[in-house]
Amino acid sequence: MADASQDPVVQQLREQISDNDLVILDALNKRLSLVQRLHEYKRSRGYDVFDPGREDWMLTYITRCNRGPLSAEAVRDLWPALVKMTTREAARIIDEASTAAGS
């Protein structure tokens, strides 16, 4: 069987995938920073951090904006996990900052 790793097309596509993965990672970190800022602001004003209506709206919006080839079903599977992860990470960062400030 041939070694695909030596194929220049395979190498080029893998390189492009790796580059794109870094773009995705950067976008996730930017999203997390924004969620963190939003949560800090909401906490400082005494607002509820969680807004299920907004999450539902965002899922509908993102699904409608999707141009594919990712299916709507895949978007509906992915997005709640993304929201949950960034919400959890934002809480962790805020809690760590509060703990460090109290030390």
Per-residue pLDDT tens over the stretch 37-90:
999 999 999 999 989 899 999 999 999 999 999 999 999 999 999 999 999 999
Percent of the chain's residues with pLDDT above 90? 82
Q: Is the pLDDT of residue 5 over 90?
A: no
Q: What does the alpha-carbon distance between residue 60 and residue 86 come to, in Å, rounded to a whole number?
A: 18
Q: Give the CA distances from residue 84 to residues 32, 33, 72, 90, in Å, rounded to whole numbers and listed in that order.
A: 11, 14, 19, 10
What is the spatial distance between Cα 70 and Cα 63, in angstroms, rounded to a whole number?
Answer: 10
pLDDT range class, residue 98, cuts 50, 70, 90: confident
Residue 103 clears pLDDT 90, i.e. is over it: no
Cis peptide before 69 (omega within 30 of 0): yes
Q: What share of the chain is helix, strand, coil (3-state, %, to 5)?
A: 85, 0, 15
Q: Which domains does the chain have, with CATH numbers?
A: 8-102 (1.20.59.10)
